[in-house]
């Protein structure tokens, strides 16, 4: 079952929303008792990049959005909208298990589809 996102919970596409999204990252990072450096290390990026996400100066790449949701233990809809939009019980481990059943080519196709879905949801173009 799905529900429509409320008017306040739209994808990030302007400075105000980027700042709110950055606050959301900071809040959940702290909830996980992580420092900016801890999060940077987990993502394989610099602390300066994490600071830039949290301040709203920049937006994480698609790959880092996936990784942030996993590290911060959140579903993608919850991560992008600040609330669960879709009722689902699937977790990252289950997704990884399902992906492992596919060939490299099929995994690439799934990743491409996910990237396109993220672009549509966030209104970004890569």
Which residue range forms the structural domain that includes residue 114?
15-122
Residue 72 sits in a domain whose CATH number is 1.10.260.40
| pTM, rounded to two decimals | 0.56
**Residue 72 vs residues 27, 93, 97: alpha-carbon distances, Å:** 10, 14, 20
What pLDDT does residue 90 have? 62
Question: Is residue 42 in a domain?
Answer: yes
Question: Is residue 6 in a domain?
Answer: no
Handedness of CA 69, 118, 77, 25 (dihedral sign): positive
Question: Is residue 32 in a domain?
Answer: yes
What pLDDT does residue 30 have? 94
Question: Is residue 40 in a domain?
Answer: yes
Instruction: Give me the number of domains the chain comprises.
Output: 1
Question: Is residue 10 in a domain?
Answer: no
Question: Is residue 7 in a domain?
Answer: no
Asked whether 71 and 39 are in contact (CB, 8 A), the reply is yes
Question: Is residue 39 in a domain?
Answer: yes
What pLDDT does residue 83 have? 63
What pLDDT does residue 123 have? 66
Question: Is residue 26 in a domain?
Answer: yes
pLDDT in tens, the chain (126 residues): 444 544 555 554 567 777 778 888 898 899 999 999 999 999 999 999 999 989 988 888 888 888 888 898 877 777 666 666 666 566 677 788 888 898 989 988 988 888 888 777 766 654
């Amino acid at each position: 079952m799905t529900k429509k996102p409320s008017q306040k919970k739209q994808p990030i596409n302007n400075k105000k929303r980027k700042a709110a999204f950055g606050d959301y990252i900071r809040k959940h990072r702290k909830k996980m008792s992580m420092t900016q450096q801890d999060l940077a290390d987990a993502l394989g990026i610099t602390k300066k990049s994490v600071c830039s996400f949290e301040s709203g100066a920049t937006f994480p790449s698609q790959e880092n959005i996936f990784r942030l949701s996993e590290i911060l233990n959140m579903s993608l809809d919850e991560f992008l909208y600040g609330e669960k939009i879709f009722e689902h019980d699937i977790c990252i481990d289950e997704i990884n298990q399902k992906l492992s059943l596919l060939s490299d080519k099929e995994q690439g196709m799934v990743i491409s589809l996910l990237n396109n879905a993220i672009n549509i949801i966030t209104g970004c173009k890569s």
